[in-house]
Amino acid sequence: MHLAELNIGRLLAPTDDPRVAEFMDNLDRVNGLGKRMPGFVWMMEGSGEPGTGNTENSIGDDPQFVANLTVWEDVPSLENFVFNTIHKQFYDRRTEWFEVMGDQHFVMWWVPVGHKPTLDEAMERLEQKRAHGDSHAAFGWSFLPEAQLWRQKHCA
Residue by residue, pLDDT tens for the chain (156 residues) are: 999 999 999 999 998 999 999 999 998 899 999 999 999 999 998 645 555 455 555 677 788 888 899 999 999 999 999 999 999 999 899 999 999 876 678 999 999 999 999 999 999 999 999 999 999 999 999 999 998 888 887 654
User: What does the pLDDT read at residue 57?
Assistant: 59
Radius of gyration of the chain (CA): 15
102 in Cβ contact with 73 (< 8 Å) = no
pLDDT of residue 10: 92
pLDDT value of position 60: 74
Q: What is the pLDDT of residue 135?
A: 96
Contacts of the segment 141-145: beta carbons below 8 A, 24+ positions apart: 141/108, 144/75, 144/108
Q: Could you tell me the pTM of the whole model?
A: 0.89
pLDDT computed for residue 65 by the predictor: 86
Tell which residue, 2, 23, 1, has the closest CA to residue 11: 23
pLDDT at 150: 81
Q: DSSP of 18-86, one letter per residue?
A: GGGHHHHHHHHHHHHHHHHSTTEEEE------TT-TTTTSEETTEEEEEEEEEEESSHHHHHHHHHHST
For the chain, list the domains and their CATH numbers: 2-153 (3.30.70.100)
CA pair distance 134, 153, nearest whole angstrom? 21
> What are φ and ψ of residue 66, in 5° steps?
-120, 160
